[in-house]
Amino acid sequence: MSEIQRAQKVMEQHKGHWEDDIVKVIFDSLEKQVPKKILDIDNRNACPHCRKKLPNIVFENLSCCSHCGQKLDWSEPNE
């Protein structure tokens, strides 16, 4: 069981004790810690979470989206 799955299980057990919006923020924050492959939107690299276009810089040095904080996976699709 991953750390995120463990956190989700604990939060589900205590769901009635926390406000739903707080739980959503915590889940979103945890999920953004798992690197996700970048998207190609209109021939530009984009964040897989917020879908905003990523800045034109040396991509491998950008470890997370500057818009939403999603960790990024720059590996090739078949890796």
Tens-digit pLDDT profile for residues 20-73: 667 777 778 888 888 999 999 998 889 999 999 988 765 566 889 988 999 999
For residue 48, what pLDDT is reported? 94
| pLDDT on residue 59 | 57
In this prediction the pTM is 0.66
Host H or E run for residue 36: strand 36-37
Q: What are the boundaries of each domain within the chain? A: 1-31, 35-79
**What are the angstrom distances between the C-alpha of 44 and each of 39, 51, 61?**
8, 11, 17
For the chain, the distance separating the N- and C-terminal CA atoms, rounded to the nearest angstrom, is 23
The amino acid at residue 7 is A
Which of residues 14 and 48 earns the better pLDDT score? 48
